[in-house]
Structure 1
Amino acid sequence: MVQFPQEFLERIQAILPAHLNLDDFVRISGEPLRPAIRVNTLKIPVTDFVALMAPKGWRLDPIPWCAEGFWLEREDSEGQLGNTPEHLAGLFYIQEASSMMPPQALFHLCAVPDRVLDVASAPGSKTTQIAARMGNQGLLIANEYSSSRLRGLHANLQRMGVHNTALTHFDGRQLGPVLIEQFDAILLDAPCSGEGTIRKDPDAMKNWSMASIEAIAEVQKGLIESAFAALKPGGVLVYSTCTLLGEENQAVCHHLKQQYPDQVAFESLAELFDGAEQALTEEGFLHIWPQIYDSEGFFVAALRKTGSVQTEISPSRKARFPFVPCPRSLASEVEAYLADTLGLTLPQGGSLMQRDKEIWWFPNGLTELTDKVRFNRLGTKLVEQHKHGFKPQHQAAVTLPLSLSRAVALDREQARHYLMGRDVAMNNPGAKGEVVVYWQDQALGLAKWVGNKLKNSLPRDLVRDNVGK
């Protein structure tokens, strides 16, 4: 049984809704979480994914608040879920059910945002969910303060086929003053004490104290003020945590409303999904106790900005911008090479940019922000120029729309070998040059014909030693 500090239990008892009790909270906190996944609709429709996995004995129980989300039971449970070919191909993301709720709230209240900010993005579950809901259109800025988590975030974005996203690396409290009123919608999934994660992390409460919670709450207040400054009037800010006490949840939202009483409106999430009323607070927030939906503990609030606020503008945090617009003739060459040789099509709503010998694709609206903030990773690297032509890049292969007629199909066993970094034997006399290889209609990466085999071009940091069958 999970051991909770007595002070924590007393505080939980004091704020539990009348229809819940402490014994049920303690009991379910000691039970393991149900595994959950979210289908990546950038790559496969939900119905097709369900049909694809049925022969493997995957039983998928729909999550009420996310049409792409499912609780999962597997008959093939001997292999790690993250090492399945379907996961490595980006067909789904392993994501706790409650974690799917904040992006759903964002789009519930802002149906078609053109420019979105995710303030604390890594490892990328909510970022990739937002990108999928945007249909890879518009511009999504994903910020992450932890430098050690940026690479994993970028890898997840590539795996899921996201190309409308650029990464920044800042303390989120610095973003608002340099990106004032730039975004239609903002998600702030704030760093928190993690009280709601006890079911997957028994040590989550190990160093719990009210002093640490109060310190974290001060950081959260700074983050929500900054996020609000970056939000356009009329836009929606969703604030969420995976913690339970009000100091990190309701109190942070009320702090912002006290700062700007005439510009902050609490939006009710009562209609987000059937059954939401079981977690609804008097403000219209969702306080997810783990026993309500058999999930992690979570908190989700939606706030609308009803007018501009005075914000002290900070100097731009930009670096030298090394890109220039790609000359039209070169852009035409690159576009033709990608289409004719690899079967890759450039997305609509973007532009080609050049940095030395590299050619990149940028989503619309990105260059408008480069004089305001320094980007860590931006755009999609398409090719590098060489004296004999172009060298294609992995991220182009896995994120651009692909014509299968010009790519090479792999069967399941060949796909496993490719994802493990191995060359693939294949008899195709006379074949030469770079190709995109795919499985289940999804690009896995690049390879090059060498004799009777496809020489593997998968980046070393993406190679897996043991891909499941």
Structure 2
Amino acid sequence: MNLPKDFLVKMKELLKEEYDEFIKSYDEEKSQGLRINTLKVSIDEFLKICPFNLKKIPWVKEGYYFSSDDRPGKHPYHDAGLYYIQEPSAMAVGEIMDSKPFERVLDLCAAPGGKSTHLASRMNQEGILVSNEIHPARAKILSQNIERLGIKNAVVTNETPENLAKKFKGYFDRILVDAPCSGEGMFRKDLGARDEWSLSNVYHCLKRQLDILENAATMLRVGGRLVYSTCTFSPEENEGVISNFIKLNSNFEIEDVKVYDGFDRGRSQWVEDAVDNIDRTIRIWPHKTQGEGHYIAVLRKTDGEDISKFNFINGVTNKKSIKEYFDFAEENLLENLQGQFVLFGEQLYVVPKEMLSLENMKVLRPGLHLGSIKKNRFEPSHALALYLNGDKVKNKLSFDKDSKEILYYLKGESIGVESGKGWYLVQVDGFSIGWGKLSGNILKNHYPKGLRWL
């Protein structure tokens, strides 16, 4: 593999006797993983129906390696959001973050959504998850992945850390900073990361990482947990950034967390004037585990200003203004959705309880998108279909994963069905995948055009 010359010199100096084994790992096939979405299917249930060759990833209970012969990204179960394809080492971050139901959680650098969807699965649709991405195009992909996995309690924003810090001071129980980095840990799987790497970029990244951490610290409540991660080997961006942050913020301490077999510890000898307990941080190496490079540090905020007053979002107070939705729900749903209803133009959302006001913020998704209120009618969203299951609707149609009907549906074609007219939740093997509207024994396809199979 053609690796940057300066990178090789640097790693040989750092790793010494480990270097040969480290370089040898680049000749091995990269590991590929998927994480079961337990919001939609239990681990045991998925393993019974799984069409892939899976092998357990030791450090995450929902995580499995799949073989190079498998194509999980081109399968109806993927479109139904039963799993997320994610690099195995990256899954350790969500496991260590350990988000809980009813907490307020922030994923500050969230695209494309692997770690956010992992956090959401542990929250079990309760509490608030704010998933933020500063780049608009990547924020859109993030929002699509939140939608595909059927997550109700996530708000997707497209903001700078500085702007978020002004609004969310002392608000969150847990914050993840999966920081933009030089990407050295991704060289085996990402040619672009190799081409963009330089020593100067390493130093550019570390300054940005420290700025992001400072803003995150402002948004964390006293006693809250801040997890910092990168996919680089660079000590400057890892032990160096954490050491500098602790020196600037004496009200934070490094927590000790469980280390799995094959994981390594942070190395104080690699940075000048490392702080105490830097060896509590975690390194994941491709020559020691079946995964790519990662670094993880867990910080606890021990002191600071305790904020108790917040400006919460105001929901719809006049339910008559969304009468069309309630008419649709009465006709088609078996269970009323709970939460605050918010209208953005003709788009209706249900927003997590105790979410702060979104005024003057760039928001892609203020909660679960229910659909559009048109004149005298309501049109349900794809997001609502992916959130619902068969127990929550009156009409449903389920097709086998290998059937021609599910293929027709994913291609956007109409399907002949003999049944009563109205909205139907379309399913694959009992798992929601989208909407169809039946009239005259023809199911009109409402699968989004941008997602259709070619």
Normalising by structure 2, we get a TM-score of 0.89
Runs of 5+ consecutive residues of structure 2 not aligned to the other structure = 268-277
Q: Does 1:290 align with 2:290?
A: no
Question: Take 1:396 and 1:87, find their aligned partners in 2: how far apart are those partners?
Answer: 17
Q: Greater CA deviation, 393-402 or 185-194?
A: 393-402
The aligned runs of 1:46-85 (5 Å cut-off) are 46-53=43-50, 56=51, 58-73=52-67, 77=70, 80-85=71-76
Q: CA deviation at 1:374?
A: 4.3
The aligned runs of 1:435-454 (5 Å cut-off) are 435-454=424-443
Q: CA deviation at 1:392?
A: 2.0
Q: Does 1:243 align with 2:232?
A: yes
The aligned runs of 1:342-381 (5 Å cut-off) are 342-343=332-333, 345-348=335-338, 350-366=339-355, 368-371=356-359, 373-381=361-369
Look up the match of 2:126.
137
Is the Cα–Cα contact under 8 Å of residues 359 and 381 in structure 1 kept in the other structure? yes
Runs of 5+ consecutive residues of structure 1 not aligned to the other structure = none
Q: Give the secondary-structure state (helix, strand or coil) at the position aligned to 2:190.
A: coil
Look up the match of 2:80.
89
1:113–1:379 CA distance, 2 compared to 1 (3 A) = closer
Question: Take 2:238 and 2:8, find their aligned partners in 1: how far apart are those partners?
Answer: 17
1:391–1:112 CA distance, 2 compared to 1 (3 A) = closer
Question: Take 1:386 and 1:151, find their aligned partners in 2: how far apart are those partners?
Answer: 24
Look up the match of 2:301.
305
Is the Cα–Cα contact under 8 Å of residues 276 and 286 in structure 1 kept in the other structure? no
Question: Take 1:125 and 1:11, find their aligned partners in 2: how far apart are those partners?
Answer: 30
Question: Take 1:344 and 1:382, find their aligned partners in 2: how far apart are those partners?
Answer: 15
Look up the match of 2:247.
258
Amino acid corresponding to residue 65 of structure 2 in structure 1: W
Is the Cα–Cα contact under 8 Å of residues 88 and 291 in structure 2 kept in the other structure? yes
Is the Cα–Cα contact under 8 Å of residues 326 and 354 in structure 1 kept in the other structure? no
Is the Cα–Cα contact under 8 Å of residues 335 and 345 in structure 1 kept in the other structure? no
Is the Cα–Cα contact under 8 Å of residues 221 and 252 in structure 1 kept in the other structure? yes
Q: CA deviation at 1:8?
A: 2.2
Q: CA deviation at 1:152?
A: 1.4
Normalising by structure 1, we get a TM-score of 0.86
Amino acid corresponding to residue 367 of structure 2 in structure 1: G
Q: Greater CA deviation, 381-390 or 218-227?
A: 381-390
Question: Take 2:92 and 2:79, find their aligned partners in 1: how far apart are those partners?
Answer: 24
Q: Give the secondary-structure state (helix, strand or coil) at the position aligned to 1:415.
A: helix
Amino acid corresponding to residue 38 of structure 1 in structure 2: R
Q: Give the counterpart of 1:37 among 34, 37, 40.
A: 34
Look up the match of 2:13.
14
Question: Take 1:137 and 1:112, find their aligned partners in 2: how far apart are those partners?
Answer: 5
1:276–1:187 CA distance, 2 compared to 1 (3 A) = farther
1:376–1:285 CA distance, 2 compared to 1 (3 A) = same
Is the Cα–Cα contact under 8 Å of residues 143 and 168 in structure 1 kept in the other structure? yes
Question: Take 2:252 and 2:123, find their aligned partners in 1: how far apart are those partners?
Answer: 25
* Alignment root-mean-square deviation, CA: 2.6
The aligned runs of 1:53-202 (5 Å cut-off) are 53=50, 56=51, 58-73=52-67, 77=70, 80-107=71-98, 111-112=100-101, 114-202=103-191
Question: Take 1:155 and 1:276, find their aligned partners in 2: how far apart are those partners?
Answer: 34
Q: Give the secondary-structure state (helix, strand or coil) at the position aligned to 1:21.
A: helix
Q: CA deviation at 1:361?
A: 1.1
Amino acid corresponding to residue 87 of structure 2 in structure 1: E
Is the Cα–Cα contact under 8 Å of residues 324 and 355 in structure 1 kept in the other structure? no
Deviations, residues 312-357 of structure 1 (Å, cap 9, x unaligned): xxxx9xxxx9x7514245668734632x433363444x22233454
Amino acid corresponding to residue 294 of structure 1 in structure 2: Q
Is the Cα–Cα contact under 8 Å of residues 143 and 364 in structure 2 kept in the other structure? no
Is the Cα–Cα contact under 8 Å of residues 229 and 296 in structure 2 kept in the other structure? yes
Q: CA deviation at 1:448?
A: 1.0
Look up the match of 2:20.
23
Question: Take 1:155 and 1:375, find their aligned partners in 2: how far apart are those partners?
Answer: 14
The sequence identity of aligned pairs, in percent, is 30
Question: Take 1:176 and 1:62, find their aligned partners in 2: how far apart are those partners?
Answer: 39
1:158–1:50 CA distance, 2 compared to 1 (3 A) = same
Amino acid corresponding to residue 62 of structure 1 in structure 2: K
Is the Cα–Cα contact under 8 Å of residues 2 and 202 in structure 1 kept in the other structure? no
